[in-house]
Structures are given as structure tokens and as C-alpha cells.
Structure 1
Amino acid sequence: MLTLTEKPRRSPKNEQLNSCASSFADYEDCIVGFMDDLQLVHCGHDKKCLGCGEELAHLTLRGVLRGSVGVIGESRLAMTEKVVLLGGRVCAVKRFRQVSSGRREFGKKIEHLARVSQKCEYLVPVAAYLYAKRIKQHGHTALDWNQRLTIIVQIARGIGFIHEQYPPYEKKMQMNVHGNIKVCNVMVNTDFSACLSGYGFTQLAEPVEVLNTGQLMKSPCRQQENTTYSDELSQKSDIYNFGVILLDILAGPKGLEMTKGVKEKKASMKLEGGLEFFEFYVKEGKERRQVSKVLEIALACISTKPDARPSIEEICFNIVEIL
């Protein structure tokens, strides 16, 4: 995990930035002053890359900086970049815009987050590059209900793992809160298993407003920030954001906007199988009951009163009941 300063902007008089692809050679100024190359500290995982199983013993800062990079996603917090090293190894780099702690403290926080993340299969390990897509990249119409339900269950289990962390405060961090649950942080593998990324990252850096110009602003993560999420660092805020994700899975990007009509016509929707709200065909019988129950959970999660929102334990129990 690296934090790099913002890349110097190119002058319009010289050349335009027409692609998200570039080289980390642009950051060579970041390592001027080091007599020797810096060995990167790996956060457990038996010193192997979880993505390819290769040894990480020889991974250095200069090697990463000289790799070929392409932007995967962007937010006010950071940019996520896919880096292909000279030997062909693939890594993921999170480049925070404004780190909120010193280098030593930041390193300790990252190592601690890595140790926690690797204990749960529903969280993206800090040291892994996963060949997965964000849920938005799959296109909702391509997913049937069983695939959507699998994603929902695994997201809930990931949140449940985080919320039961004890002690809740460690390394000057609140460990029992994710802090940035959004659709763009849900990673879906080829078998439609899902896991959450970005755990704890809001406590590592400060969000920065970025002008909406250039190719980089078109990333899915950046666009998703236009959706109403709660920025409060609390478990109830995590639950609210989970509810927003549920509505997105059920009804698409405008699911949250449509909830007023859902509440007003809730009874009729159950009778009609929810066809005027859900963006996919709902079969009669068990599937209709499952979809209706998940919708009820979503509506409870986005309650304007935090105390009225269910705990993740209640949510997981109710979801298991309908499987």
C-alpha cells in the first residue's frame, strides 16, 4: 500500500491527458534523497501475493514507481491504480490525496488493517490484487435474483465481521466501523462471490474536493459519489449505506429516489410481485417473498432515525431466514 503525492498536472500548452494510463516514473521526485532503494513492507500473507502467489521479497518502492499504471477508480479520498511491474507482476496501488497521519503511524495502521482483513473472506485483503469487477461493472440486468442474493448475503457477512471487532478502538482507529460502504467498494468475482474493499481507509486520509474535469472524473467510483451516502463514521452510518446498496441491487441506481413510491404502495407491490419497482423479473412464490423481505430490510436501513435502523446481526438473521 503506497501513498503518493498528486502527480504534477501537465500544461495544456504541451499535451493533453487523453488516457488514464501513465507511468509511475512521473513520481521519481518522490524518492529523490534515498541513497538506496526502499524495500516494501508486506503485511503478512506469508510474504506472498494473494493474487498470483508470487514471492514479495524483492518488491521495492522504485520497482513500483517505474511500473506501468492505469487508473481503476477514483474518489475524493484516493485513486486506485493497477500497476504492471517490469517483470509482468500486477499490483494495486491506493494513492491517497491527503494522508491524515505521519508516515510511521500510517504504516502501523495499514499493517493492522491488513491483519484484520485477512481473517475474513468477505473483505478484500490490503495486500491483494483481485481480478474482480465492481458490482456496477457487471450491469444489473445481467444478474438474476440468486446471484444478487448471494452478493447481498456476503456483503452483510463482511459488515458483520467488521462490526463485531473487539476492542472497538485500536491504533487510534475505530476498528468496528467500515466507514466507506458504497457500491463502488463492492467487488464481485467471476463466480459472483462478493467482498468489501476500503475497510478503514476513511481513517487514513482526508477527502479532498476535486474539480470535475478530465478523463479521470468519469470513473465509476467518482460518479457513484453523487449518490446520497452517509459520511458519518459509525455503525448506523454503515447500515444506512448498506441499505442504499440493497436498493441499488434491487432497482438500479435510482433505487433510493424511488423509495417514496415504494413506501406509499408497499402493499400493492407485494401483490404484484414488485414489478413496478424491481428492475428484474420476479418469479412467484419463494423468490417473490425473498425479494419483498430484502426490500423491507433496505427500507429499515435507510430510516432517517439512526436508532430505528436494524443492527447487522438482525439483518443477517433476517436474511438467513429467507434462504
Structure 2
Amino acid sequence: MLSITKRRRSFRYADQSNSGSGSIYEYEDCFVGLTDDLPLVSCGNYCGKTMTLKEVLRSSVGVMGESPLGLTEKVVLLKSQMFAVKRLRMTVVRRNEFGKRVEKLAQVSKKCEYLVPIAAYLYTKRIKFILCEYFPMGSLADLLAGARKYGHTALNWNQRLKIILSIARAIEFIHRQNPNERKIKMNVHGNIKSSNVMIKIDFSACLSDYGFTQLAERVELPRKRQLKPPPHQVPPPSYLIYREELSQKADIYNFGVVIMDILAGSRFSTFKKCILEVKEEITEGRIEFFEFALDTRERMRASQILDIALACTNLSAEGRPSIEQILLFLGDAIIK
């Protein structure tokens, strides 16, 4: 663990495993490492080279995503270590509180295999970012978009089911946390969506951005200029828009939207209002609803998970199931 001492306009980073010795780095180059296997960040020195803020920013190899909270970039540091940098646009807390919250989120995240680990963070006057584990497979949104837009190999049923289960287990872990600690709600994720579901090589998944909505303000992104608006363009229906409230019930609703995206994608918006009326046809395969191939048994299970998604996206928060109930329903759907 690190001891950090502020001295005038610099911080001292001391690796306690080395008799408390440390080096002084300028205010604008202050990293706080949160993992023992990341010496270049935690100690500011790696193989005799000092890692500065400028070098980290220059190591960015591209923007992976953009959201109202900020940018996500891929960085390659010394010894080819790859990380995802979450660069926040506008934080809602000052330096000390920011550090306390990130460190607490990191402590909780490392206890769950279904949450993306936080490696380090940086807070300067101009730049605030969080360094997280990088996943070469990308996000769920990337995989789904790749299949729909570019004809990449689509996820099969077993892979989709594994992803759904991973997300549910991550939510269950979060919702069991102590509600309030260090002025932050630890039992709410706050930003569950397909782009924050990172995929592992075995097609299990990890939730990223846990608690980040309590670190940064949402900033409305500028709309891309369109020379000719698409004909008959209509806004997405209310039941396909993620909820932004900081509550467990909003987490459940957003999980339901993610499930719908996994099961049917854009097809869902066509059937939502009449889905209960045509449920039998969907289950029997007479209506093409699911966007992937299914045998008879798999179709039955997918229809049961569709029921879960419908319950999660109930417009009444009180009518949505708890994550414990969802996991029971998922267990039943898998066993049958």
C-alpha cells in the first residue's frame, strides 16, 4: 500500500516494502497506484525510468468510446502493458474526496471477478482519469455492433447466456454492499449499459464504470451534424432509453435493456407493445424475434429470459424484481 505525503507542490510516493523510501514527483505527474503488480504507476518508477503524466498521455493509441462522463482510451505503457483510461470531463468532488472514493471502489471491485479492476487514478487541475484493466475483446456493444453492422460472427446462444449471467452476478455483488460509505452509495452501479459490459476471452463478462457516476457529472455531447436527416427518423422509445437515476431499481431497469439488446436488438422495439399477445408465436418460432439461431430447447430458455427482461423494464419501479429474484429466475431458465 502507498503512503502519500503532500509537500508544497509535490507528492511523495513511498513504497513501504522498501523501508519507506520514495521519490518526489511534481504535482502534475501524480499517480496513485492501487495494485501491487503495477510498479510503474504506484511508485512512479519502472526499470529506472520515471513515468510522467506527459508520457502516459502520449501513450494513448486511440479512443475506444465516448460517453457523457468522458472518454475511454487505450494506452500501452512500459513493457507493453495495456490499460483502458477513463478520462473524466467534469468531476463532482475535490481531490481528497475523489481519491477516497476511487480507492474504495477499487477495494470493492477487486473482490468480485465480474467487476473491472481499477489499477490507478490521477487527479490534476486539468486532467482527471482512472486507469482500468484492458479487455482485448472489447465491450458487449462492440461485439453486437460488429455482427449487426459489419457482418462479424454473431454471438451464439450459450455465449449470450454466459454474458447475461455474468452481469447479473456483478449486480448482485454490488447490491449487497454497504449502502453508504465515505459519502458514496456503494450498493448501486449507476451506469449499466452494453458499452460498460467488457467481454473476456471465455465470453464471461465484467461490468466497468462501477460508481463512476458519483465521481463525474454527465456532460451533454454535441450532436453530429447531418447534411440530410434520415427519412422517417423517430427518437428511440422510452423503454429503450437507459435510466440515469442512482438507485438499485434503475440498475435493474438498465439490466433489462441490456438483456433486450442481447436477445433481439432493434427487433425489440417492433414487438414491445404487443409482445405478450405474440409470446406463444415467438416461443414456437413462428415469429422471428431473436437475432440468432436457436434450437427448440434454446428457444424455450430464451423466451423465459425474455420474460425476465420484460419484468426488469417495467415502467413502475416497484414492479421490477430484485437481483436475487432475477438470479433465481435465470437458474430456472437454465435448468429447464
* TM-score class, shorter: 0.7 to 0.9
What SS does the aligned partner of 2:86 have? strand
Q: Does 1:238 align with 2:251?
A: yes
Q: Does 1:282 align with 2:294?
A: yes
- d(CA) in 2 for partners of 1:258 and 1:94? 36
- d(CA) in 2 for partners of 1:163 and 1:75? 24
How far is the alpha carbon of 1:322 from its aligned partner? 2.4
Q: Does 1:135 align with 2:137?
A: no
Higher strand share: 2
Of 210, 213, 216, the match for 1:202:
213
Aligned to 1:90: 82
Q: Residue 136 of structure 1 aligns to which amino acid in structure 2?
A: A
Aligned to 1:305: 316
- Spell out, residue by residue over 1:250-295, the C-alpha distance to the aligned partner (whole angstroms, 9 max, x if none): 101442453213123123322x23642111222113x122111100
What SS does the aligned partner of 1:82 have? strand
What SS does the aligned partner of 2:161 have? helix
TM-score (norm 1): 0.78
The count of aligned residue pairs is 272
Of 248, 255, 274, the match for 2:261:
248
Q: Residue 232 of structure 1 aligns to which amino acid in structure 2?
A: E
Q: Is the 8 A contact 2:33 2:41 kept in 1?
A: no
Identity %: 50
Q: Does 1:156 align with 2:148?
A: no
Against the structure 1 CA distance between its residues 36 and 169, is the aligned structure 2 distance closer, same or farther, given a 3 Å change threshold? closer
What SS does the aligned partner of 2:104 have? helix
What does 1:1-323 align with in structure 2 at a 5 Å threshold? 35=26, 38-43=29-34, 45=35, 47-49=36-38, 56-57=42-43, 58=45, 59-85=51-77, 88-127=80-119, 128-139=133-144, 142-166=154-178, 168-213=179-224, 227-256=240-269, 258-270=271-283, 272-273=284-285, 275-285=287-297, 287-323=298-334
- d(CA) in 2 for partners of 1:67 and 1:132? 20
Q: Residue 107 of structure 2 aligns to which amino acid in structure 1?
A: R
Q: Residue 81 of structure 2 aligns to which amino acid in structure 1?
A: R
How far is the alpha carbon of 1:316 from its aligned partner? 0.5
- d(CA) in 1 for partners of 2:206 and 2:311? 23
- d(CA) in 2 for partners of 1:93 and 1:212? 24
What SS does the aligned partner of 2:64 have? strand
Larger RCO, structures 1/2 (Cα 8 Å, 6+ apart): 1
- d(CA) in 2 for partners of 1:161 and 1:78? 25
- Spell out, residue by residue over 1:65-89, the C-alpha distance to the aligned partner (whole angstroms, 9 max, x if none): 3323410100011111112236643
RMSD over aligned CA atoms reads 2.4
Structure having the higher Rg: 2
- d(CA) in 1 for partners of 2:140 and 2:182? 31
Q: Residue 242 of structure 1 aligns to which amino acid in structure 2?
A: F
What SS does the aligned partner of 1:41 have? strand
What SS does the aligned partner of 1:81 have? strand
What SS does the aligned partner of 1:70 have? strand
TM-score (norm 2): 0.75
- d(CA) in 1 for partners of 2:323 and 2:310? 14
Q: Is the 8 A contact 1:275 1:282 kept in 2?
A: no
Structure 2 alignment gaps of length 5 or more: 1-24, 46-50, 120-132, 148-152, 226-235
- Spell out, residue by residue over 1:284-309, the C-alpha distance to the aligned partner (whole angstroms, 9 max, x if none): 13x12211110000000000111010
- d(CA) in 2 for partners of 1:35 and 1:301? 49
